[in-house]
Amino acid sequence: MPTIAARRSVAFNDAQIDMTHGAGGKASRRLVEGLIVPAFMADAIGEPLTDAARLDVGSAQLAITTDSFVVHPLRFPGGSIGDLAVNGTVNDLAVAGAVPLALVCSLIVEAGTATDILRAEVEAMARASRAAGVAIIGGDTKVVEHGKADSLYITTTGIGRMHPRALLSAARVREGDRILVSGNVGDHGITVILARGDIDLAADLRSDTRAIHPLTAALIDGLGPDLRWMRDPTRGGVATSLNELARDAGLAIVVDEEAVPVRDEVRGACELLGLDPLHIANEGQFLAVVASESADRALAILKQIEGGEAAAIVGRVEATPARTVLAGTSYGSTRVVDMLVGDPLPRIC
């Protein structure tokens, strides 16, 4: 969930909403920055969009994040909408530097949905909540007529307490900083695409949905101010998150394309589908920017934690070309990596 903050003037002149506006890429950003943010914060000049809003209550420094989950199909190898609804919100708190404390959830159910389908997702949420150690403490349920939803949509809101050692902001990113990724890229998006059955392609893949706060907390604990920025590259993938960072920091990100961990199955599916693995959604990974001198230590911290074994240093921050993401290979070729444009992967989370 992006925090709402007004930035430079963005025009939103599209006459109607289409699927690209929900894809997490350029069109989504125009909608949010051109229509929603100006209404909610007409006069504010705030922080760049981040994954959780900050709220101080007395001495408690809180973070709050909300997300709606509309993934189709509801279930796919490795997870389901219930898992995503818990893990996705826990992860938005985690990458904002917060310790997740509790969740609330709201269900929109389509009339005619089998109770067993609903029960399976409520139980998936409960299991994911227990696995993450973050309780679901309240909720709401609405029902709409058959044909006015797609079985089940879930909105979860998470509240967390800011980690006292977390000092995360695109403004703290510096030339020379290193980019880390916590593990293999693209598993979730390709798994969901294949689960739809529209593409005649089989691959032994599972969604990476999981709660990442043990990994992010270890980095915050270990690095303190040398940890500059984190983001979970969901809709729009690694490419979109790094473009947002490049834009917000006014710097260049240079990705070592060969260092990015991508499973062969994901790479193969992407080649067949004409997609870039860097644009594919992830649900259990995060990107981190760390000070150059702490990069090896950050990698060691991640690798020693369960689920961090495939972590890698995948790039560095340069001064120019500002606001740009480049990907290079050892052969010397370099390409510009843009934000996601269009929506090759609708309703991925």
Footprint of a copy of itself on residues 308-347 (CB under 8 A)?
Answer: 346-347
Residue 128 beta carbon to a copy of itself: minimum distance, rounded to whole angstroms: 11
Residue 66 beta carbon to a copy of itself: minimum distance, rounded to whole angstroms: 4
Residues 45-84 that bind a copy of itself (CB under 8 A): 52-55, 57-60, 62, 64-70
String marking each residue 106-135 x if it binds a copy of itself according to CB under 8 A: xxxxxxxxxx--xx--xx-xx--x-----x
Residues 11-30 that bind a copy of itself (CB under 8 A): 12, 14-23, 28
Q: Are 237 and 287 in contact (CB under 8 A)?
A: no
Phi-psi region of 332 (alpha: psi -120 to 50; beta: other; left: phi over 0): left
Residue 304 beta carbon to a copy of itself: minimum distance, rounded to whole angstroms: 30
Q: Which one, 298 or 339, has the nearer CB to a copy of itself? A: 339
Instruction: Name the one range near a copy of itself by CB under 8 A: 2-10, 178-186, 266-274, 282-290.
Output: 2-10
Task: Report in angstroms the alpha-carbon separations of 200 from 119, 193, 269.
Answer: 31, 11, 11
φ, ψ of residue 298 to 5 degrees: the values are -60, -45
Residues 220-279 that bind a copy of itself (CB under 8 A): none
Closest CA to 295 of 172, 180, 167, 168: 180
Residues 269-298 that bind a copy of itself (CB under 8 A): none
Q: Which one, 157 or 184, has the nearer CB to a copy of itself? A: 157
Does the protein bind a copy of itself through residue 6 (CB under 8 A)? Answer: no
Residue 332 beta carbon to a copy of itself: minimum distance, rounded to whole angstroms: 40
Residue 275 beta carbon to a copy of itself: minimum distance, rounded to whole angstroms: 19
Task: Give residue 160's identity as a one-letter amino acid code.
Answer: G
| HSE-CB of 173 using CA atoms within 13 angstroms | 25
Instruction: Name the one range near a copy of itself by CB under 8 A: 34-42, 261-269, 271-279, 320-328.
Output: 34-42
Distance from C-alpha of 333 to C-alpha of 326, rounded to nearest angstrom: 10
Report the DSSP pairing between strands 252-256 and 287-290: unpaired
Instruction: Name the one range near a copy of itself by CB under 8 A: 38-46, 249-257, 282-290, 303-311.
Output: 38-46
Distance from C-alpha of 80 to C-alpha of 186, rounded to nearest angstrom: 16
For CA atoms 62, 68, 74, 77, the dihedral sign is negative
Q: Are 162 and 61 in contact (CB under 8 A)?
A: yes
Distance from C-alpha of 226 to C-alpha of 58, rounded to nearest angstrom: 28
CB atoms closer than 10 angstroms to residue 198: 8
Residues 139-198 that bind a copy of itself (CB under 8 A): 139-145, 147-150, 153, 155, 157, 159, 161
Q: Which one, 236 or 315, has the nearer CB to a copy of itself? A: 236
Residue 228 beta carbon to a copy of itself: minimum distance, rounded to whole angstroms: 22
Contacts with a copy of itself by CB under 8 A: the residue count is 82
Residue 111 beta carbon to a copy of itself: minimum distance, rounded to whole angstroms: 5
Q: Which one, 62 or 313, has the nearer CB to a copy of itself? A: 62
Q: Give the three-state DSSP class for 287.
A: strand
Distance from C-alpha of 239 to C-alpha of 236, rounded to nearest angstrom: 7
Residue 63 beta carbon to a copy of itself: minimum distance, rounded to whole angstroms: 9
Distance from C-alpha of 105 to C-alpha of 96, rounded to nearest angstrom: 20
Residue 301 beta carbon to a copy of itself: minimum distance, rounded to whole angstroms: 27
